[in-house]
Structure 1
Amino acid sequence: MTRLDAIDRRILAELQRDGRMTNQALAEKVGLSPTPCLRRVRRLEEAGIIGGYVAVVDQKAVDLPVSVFISIKLERQREEDLDRFAEAVSRWPEVMECYLMTGQRDYLMRVVCADLPAYERFLKARLTRLDGIASIESSFALAQVKHTNVLPLG
């Protein structure tokens, strides 16, 4: 595991806010010259701490305003059942996040779609066709109170 010092944390904080920032601008913000700053960024990338750079797209602006949180309970929690479920879900573009959980449910996922009929199609064509699902509970988000991709690095 790569040990992060205060400068690494500042670099990560700045890049989380603006991943398109030039190395020159980043170096100025964290108090380094450009060459050592770039070396640190490359080291963070190679260590897998920075996993990539993406554009954050507003789901409403691209006609996917509906977020559905789905709790799923499997009939059995054997490793092969868990693996089969995870493999299927990883192929579905509507699934934005999916977590293996403790507690009453086995999985919690967030799905985005255009409207209620689109969610119904997802449910019928994908989710309910998987073997081994005991129950599915859907909750529709009314409003997003907070969303961030910025980790609290301290």
Structure 2
Amino acid sequence: MHSPDRIDCLILRELQQDARLTNQELADRVGLSPSPCLRRVRQLEQAGIIEGYRAVVSPRAVDLPITAFVRLRLASHEGATVDAVEERLRAIPHIVEAHLLAGDWDYLVRIVTSSFDAYERLLREHLRAIPSLASIDTTFAFGVTKPVSALPLDAR
């Protein structure tokens, strides 16, 4: 496994802020020439440290203003049951994040929808149809006080 050094951390910090930087701009910001910079970026990609590149889309701008955080508890924790639940969660497009938890709840999922009615339909048609769910608890977000942000990488 590749362990990021100080320069790698600088590269990662810059790319987390703006993944559209040209290689030349990135190289200038981290104090490398373009060839070694590109080589390091490719190594970070191959090592799985950089998992991909995405555009950050405003949910409101695409008519998905409702965010629900939903906690799920399973009735059974058998391997096949857990696999089936996770497969169903991944198949629901409005679930944009799903986390396996320790503690009272088994999963925390983030759902975006166009309306409360759309959330209710999703709940009835998709979530409640997942086998072996013992309970579902929903909390709606009124706003975002800190959006998803860059990982806090220290330059080593």
Q: Do these two structures clear the TM 0.5 threshold for a shared fold by scoring above it?
A: yes
Q: Distance in 2 between matches of 1:122 and 1:34?
A: 48
Note the 1:28-107 alignment, pairs <5 A.
28-107=28-107
Residue by residue, what CA displacement relative to the aligned partner does 1:99-132 show, whole Å, maximum 9, x if unpaired? 1111111111000001100001100110001110
CA offset digits 1:68-127 (Å, max 9, x no partner): 000111111111111110001101110011111111111110000011000011001100
Show the counterpart of 1:17.
Answer: 17
| Larger RCO, structures 1/2 (Cα 8 Å, 6+ apart) | 2
Question: Residues of 2 paired with 1:54 and 1:131: CA distance?
Answer: 32
Between the aligned residues of both structures, percent identity stands at: 47
Task: Write the distance in 2 (CA, Å) between the matches of 1:100 and 1:3.
Answer: 26
SS at match of 1:28: helix
Counterpart of 1:144 in structure 2 is 144
- Please list every run of 5 or more consecutive structure 1 residues that lacks an aligned counterpart in the other structure: none
| Runs ≥4 residues deviating over 6 A | none
Paired residue for 2:122?
Answer: 122
Distance of 1:7 and 1:146 partners within structure 2: 27
Please state whether the residue corresponding to 1:61 is helix, strand or coil.
Answer: helix
Give 5+ residue unaligned stretches, structure 2: none
Q: Secondary structure at the match of 2:26?
A: helix
The structural deviation recorded for 1:52 is 1.0
Instruction: Name the TM-score, length of structure 2 as normaliser.
Output: 0.96
